[in-house]
Amino acid sequence: MAHWAIESLLLWGLASGLAWGVAAWVGGSDWDDVPEWLKSNIWVLPVLTGVVGVLMVFVAPVWRYRVHRWEVSADVVYTRTGWFSREWLLVPVSRIQTVDTKQGWIERTLGLATIHVNTASHTGSSEVSGLSADLATRMAEDLAHRAHALRDDAT
């Protein structure tokens, strides 16, 4: 959850800084092309960006943690995603082609990793994020071995 909060903080911090810069630029300009109503109300842009940013930093990670789930069984990888509508994705282990592990710099700092379970179908591919790096490595190796053992000759 900290990973998602830090990502949101960086993104919305940048957006808020840009909004304040645009507000200062437009509000302090002597341009005749900018309508007066826009110049007088430009302060709404950084305030609105800040409010949305606070919600995205403090509410969205908690919400995402509550709705995003994953499970690995003997023959299927289940993932559930979605903010308002839920999507369950079931990836049969026998259909897995590759299992990739990645770490962004924030994940690496927090000791986390993400695994990508890839199939031949783009819609059949899945992702599990926020795992400890050791668990992600073990899970990727285990899934790759099981996929190799369960692979059938269907296309």
Q: Is 121 exposed, middle or buried (0-12, 13-18, 19+ CB in 10 A)?
A: exposed
pLDDT the model gives residue 152: 55
Report residue 51 as tokens. 């409010």
Q: Is 138 domain-assigned?
A: yes
pLDDT the model gives residue 16: 92
Q: Is 130 domain-assigned?
A: yes
Same domain, residue pair 76 and 130: yes
Same domain, residue pair 77 and 100: yes
pTM over cut 0.75 = no
What residues make up the domain containing 27? 2-64
The CATH number of whichever domain residue 142 belongs to comes to 2.30.29.30
The amino acid at residue 155 is T
Same domain, residue pair 57 and 92: no
Same domain, residue pair 43 and 87: no
Same domain, residue pair 12 and 53: yes
Mean pLDDT per 10-residue segment, the chain (155 residues): 84 91 80 74 88 89 82 85 83 84 90 88 79 90 82 54
pLDDT the model gives residue 89: 86
Q: Is 155 domain-assigned?
A: no
Residue 143 to residues 71, 76, 130, 136, 140: CA-CA distances in angstroms? 12, 10, 17, 10, 5
Same domain, residue pair 59 and 89: no
Domain count, the chain: 2
